[in-house]
Structure 1
Amino acid sequence: MDFIPYGKQNINKKDIKAVIKTLKSDFLTTGPKVKEFEYKLCEYTGAKYCVAVSNGTAALHLASLALLDKNDKVLTTPNSFLATSNSILYAGAKPIFVDIGEDGNIDLDLCEKELKKDPTIEAIYAVHFSGKSVDQKKLKKLKEKYDIKIVEDCAHSLGASFKGIKAGSCTYSNISTFSFHPVKHITTGEGGAITTNSKKLYEKLLLLRNHGMVKDSSMKPWEYEMRELGFNYRLTDISCALGLNQIKRLDKFLKKRRKIAKEYDKAFKETNTLVTALYPFDEESSYHLYVVKVKFDKLKISKEEFFMKMREKGIGLQVHYIPINKQPFYKKLGYRKENTPNTDKYYKEVFSIPMYPGLKNKEQKYVIKSLFEVLND
């Protein structure tokens, strides 16, 4: 049996054909495929506007530049990839780390406590961790009651929803961001996108994506104006050709991910209580990750030993994530002493097991069998 990673892209012949067709066209960088991809993402999420960018970090960076001012205070989660809080720093603003709830998402009730204590807080960056959307009802309440800006980091949640509200629709947020890294629900190689329902924000994001540069019909043929300090965060037509073919299969991918999650849930419920899912099966989760909890402090085997033994069996696991506020760079900024007991406990216990549409049933059974063998050894 081949090595089984925790995540993997799904590329078929039509994907390859679409990319080759674009390679033979007149446009390789920003051309018609970019516009078409943006339109399809709007159509899928329900948002009015979309800006495709070079990667998920670029999406967060531009979102932060469009929304934040220098020294703004922003509530965010320590349980995410570095890019979420880094983007706040890129804009000269200050992340404030708030503990997570049982499902791995930022605790919005704790966010409200922070907002009550400090009315100068300007924004919340909420990550839909593992594919489970944050509570949109609570998000709406915070936005309306405290008049704050909200960014939804939807890198894990394309195709997810909360009581019918689709991730990326920006129903109760200013901006949503996506990543199309190979382990995500669809891939463009690298790539990302920003959705919003604000025309003003959309126009600013377009400007920032392309060097802050404007060129219009009133100008001479060679003229352009730089009106902002922008970046080259464009996504290519080649990438978008791949993304367009991938998005056709997105619902199929999601169906398979949810089927895999159900099988894992069933196995862990029936076998014993040694391994538990991060949260009970949620038909609205997009299951970018399948995260499980194990109380290693009650076992003979350490988490590190467990990882190594699973790798020896040809299975790749991962931890999502090392708490951001405990990273050396953030410690230098004065972080690390935040009151985040749930995050600290979560980090000690959790790991992500293989979850991707191409995972075969026999491979999943092997993962489950191996997991219990190693833990019970």
Structure 2
Amino acid sequence: MKRIPYGHQRIDQRDIDAVSAVLGSDWLTTGPQVEAFEEELAAYCGARHAVVTSSGTTALYGACNALGLAPGTEGVVPALTFAASATCLLSVGAKPAFVDIDPETGNIDPAAAEAAITPGTRVVIPVHFAGLPANLDALAEIAKRRQVAVLEDAAHALGASVGDEKVGGCAKSQMAIFSFHPVKAITTGEGGAVLTNDDHLAERVRTWRNHGIKRYPAQGSWYYEIESLGSNARLTDFACALGRAQLKTLDVRISERQGIAAAYDRLLDPFADHVIKPPKPPDGTRHAWHLYVIRFKDPSVREVVYREMQAAGIGVQVHYVPAHWHPVFKPFGAPPRGSLSNTEAWYEASLSLPIYPGLTYDDQVRVISVLKRSLEIASQETL
């Protein structure tokens, strides 16, 4: 019986044709597909600029560089996230201040975020966990009042929206980043993007992405100087061609994810004594459903359920090991284990079920059947 992963890319013939056309062209990188993808992505999100990068991680690194973060400064980050949401701060010499989450949504708790702001704080980095938009109304008000920037880690949330505002439009932030890893809503193989409405920030990211190079045509078309420390974080033209093709079907992909999430909700109704379903989005909010994360009312069953489901070919996953637990952050004052109770309780009880376009209803029925059997085994082992 086939293995069902927790996430998977969808590639169709139009994607293949788009990439093949570029592979037969004169430009494999720094060519016209890059600018075209940036323009189309910015237009979709309603932002002035999109700057594509080699990954979501490099998008975060470039954004922190553009914001001028430096040694001695701080950024506020939720602890329920992948480490890159915080290592981006280390990359510029700043340090993360980890804060707790709202236990109902998994997103950053605005009150905790404000409490963590110090005179050295320069940015708050909300994560739209699982594709559910964070409370940017509250965070933007706090950021304006406390004079700090907001950088959205929207790696999970391309296609999400609140009212008429799409995530990535930066209506309530200075910058937002996306990831185009294969398990995300659209993919470029690897890839990412920084979106902003600020011309200066966009130019700083573009410069950083290309080694910090500034060109001076008046001194010769070949002449350039490296004025700041940058990186090679460029995205290839064939990757951008794939991204352009996938972007055309993004809304269909999100609708499919919404349908899968709704089916899981129904299939999990009989498990109300054991399982907490993911939070529903508020009215007027579009959830991107990058992840479908359940939580167990008895966290002690999680290890057995994970083991049994993996053994049965269901690629469940756990998102995430609390970021403040990682040893890399210890020298920078990360809070000790046990100090961020909502994050740690979420981690200890959570399990991500498979969700991706192409997952069939029969696949979902199999997932839930294996979950049921695994819970039965867990109940015996934990007696």
* Fold shared, TM-score > 0.5 on shorter chain: yes
Which residue does the alignment assign to 2:56? Answer: 56
Which residue does the alignment assign to 1:347? Answer: 347
Q: Structure 1 counterpart of 2:127, which letter?
A: V
Q: Structure 2 counterpart of 1:312, which letter?
A: A
Whole-Å separation in 2 of the counterparts to 1:108 and 1:333: 22
Offset of 1:94 from its aligned partner? 1.2
Offset of 1:120 from its aligned partner? 3.6
Q: Answer yes or no: is 1:306 the counterpart of 2:308.
A: no
Whole-Å separation in 1 of the counterparts to 2:53 and 2:88: 15
Offset of 1:334 from its aligned partner? 3.9
Which residue does the alignment assign to 1:326? Answer: 325
Which residue does the alignment assign to 1:76? Answer: 77
Offset of 1:178 from its aligned partner? 0.7
Q: Answer yes or no: is 1:285 the counterpart of 2:284.
A: no
Please give the residue correspondences for 1:169-188 in structure 2 after superposition, counting only pairs within 5 Å.
Answer: 169-188=169-188
Three-state SS of the structure 1 residue aligned to 2:125 is strand
Retained in 1: the 8 A contact 2:78–2:99?
Answer: yes
Offset of 1:295 from its aligned partner? 2.8
Which residue does the alignment assign to 1:238? Answer: 238
Whole-Å separation in 2 of the counterparts to 1:200 and 1:312: 51
Retained in 1: the 8 A contact 2:214–2:225?
Answer: yes
Which residue does the alignment assign to 2:250? Answer: 250
Q: Structure 2 counterpart of 1:109, which letter?
A: A
Whole-Å separation in 1 of the counterparts to 2:113 and 2:316: 31
Please give the residue correspondences for 1:197-208 in structure 2 after superposition, counting only pairs within 5 Å.
Answer: 197-208=197-208
Whole-Å separation in 1 of the counterparts to 2:272 and 2:229: 57
Whole-Å separation in 1 of the counterparts to 2:182 and 2:145: 38
Three-state SS of the structure 2 residue aligned to 1:103 is coil
Three-state SS of the structure 2 residue aligned to 1:7 is coil
Which residue does the alignment assign to 1:137? Answer: 137
Offset of 1:337 from its aligned partner? 1.9
Question: How high is the TM-score relative to the length of structure 1?
Answer: 0.95
Offset of 1:359 from its aligned partner? 0.3
Please give the residue correspondences for 1:15-164 in structure 2 after superposition, counting only pairs within 5 Å.
Answer: 15-67=15-67, 68-101=69-102, 102-115=104-117, 118-164=118-164
Which residue does the alignment assign to 1:294? Answer: 296
Offset of 1:14 from its aligned partner? 0.9
Q: Structure 2 counterpart of 1:194, which letter?
A: V
Whole-Å separation in 2 of the counterparts to 1:263 and 1:109: 34
Retained in 1: the 8 A contact 2:56–2:193?
Answer: yes
Give the total of aligned pairs: 372
Retained in 1: the 8 A contact 2:97–2:334?
Answer: no
Q: Structure 2 counterpart of 1:34, which letter?
A: V
Offset of 1:227 from its aligned partner? 1.6
- Counting aligned pairs with the same residue, the percent is 40
Three-state SS of the structure 2 residue aligned to 1:218 is helix
Offset of 1:269 from its aligned partner? 2.6
Three-state SS of the structure 1 residue aligned to 2:10 is coil
Q: Structure 2 counterpart of 1:177, which letter?
A: I
CA offsets, 1:24-56, max 9 Å, x none? Answer: 001001100000000011011111011111111
Three-state SS of the structure 2 residue aligned to 1:156 is coil
Q: Which runs of 5+ in 2 are unaligned?
A: 378-383
Whole-Å separation in 1 of the counterparts to 2:281 and 2:144: 31
CA offsets, 1:166-201, max 9 Å, x none? Answer: 111111111101110000000000000000110011
Q: Structure 2 counterpart of 1:318, which letter?
A: Q
Which residue does the alignment assign to 1:376? Answer: 376
Q: Structure 1 counterpart of 2:125, which letter?
A: Y
Retained in 1: the 8 A contact 2:175–2:195?
Answer: yes
Retained in 1: the 8 A contact 2:124–2:149?
Answer: yes
Offset of 1:268 from its aligned partner? 1.8
Three-state SS of the structure 2 residue aligned to 1:130 is helix
Which residue does the alignment assign to 2:380? Answer: none
Which residue does the alignment assign to 1:2? Answer: 2
Calculate the aligned-residue CA RMSD, in Å.
1.5
Three-state SS of the structure 2 residue aligned to 1:126 is coil
Three-state SS of the structure 1 residue aligned to 2:219 is coil
Whole-Å separation in 1 of the counterparts to 2:200 and 2:332: 33
CA offsets, 1:284-326, max 9 Å, x none? Answer: 11000000001334x6xx4222212101211001111000111
Please give the residue correspondences for 1:206-245 in structure 2 after superposition, counting only pairs within 5 Å.
Answer: 206-245=206-245
Three-state SS of the structure 2 residue aligned to 1:127 is coil
Retained in 1: the 8 A contact 2:317–2:353?
Answer: yes
Offset of 1:281 from its aligned partner? 5.3
Retained in 1: the 8 A contact 2:46–2:166?
Answer: yes
Q: Structure 2 counterpart of 1:291, which letter?
A: V
Three-state SS of the structure 2 residue aligned to 1:232 is coil
Q: Structure 1 counterpart of 2:50, which letter?
A: C
Question: How high is the TM-score relative to the length of structure 2?
Answer: 0.94
Q: Which moved more, 1:220-229 or 1:186-195?
A: 220-229
Q: 1:281 to 1:372 in 2, by over 3 A?
A: farther
Three-state SS of the structure 2 residue aligned to 1:168 is coil
Retained in 2: the 8 A contact 1:143–1:172?
Answer: no
Retained in 1: the 8 A contact 2:140–2:150?
Answer: no
Whole-Å separation in 1 of the counterparts to 2:101 and 2:27: 45
Moved over 6 A (4+): none
Q: Structure 2 counterpart of 1:182, which letter?
A: P
Which residue does the alignment assign to 2:334? Answer: 335
Whole-Å separation in 2 of the counterparts to 1:170 and 1:65: 18
CA offsets, 1:78-122, max 9 Å, x none? Answer: 11111110000111001000100121111012112333xx34422
Q: Structure 2 counterpart of 1:89, which letter?
A: L
Retained in 1: the 8 A contact 2:55–2:180?
Answer: yes
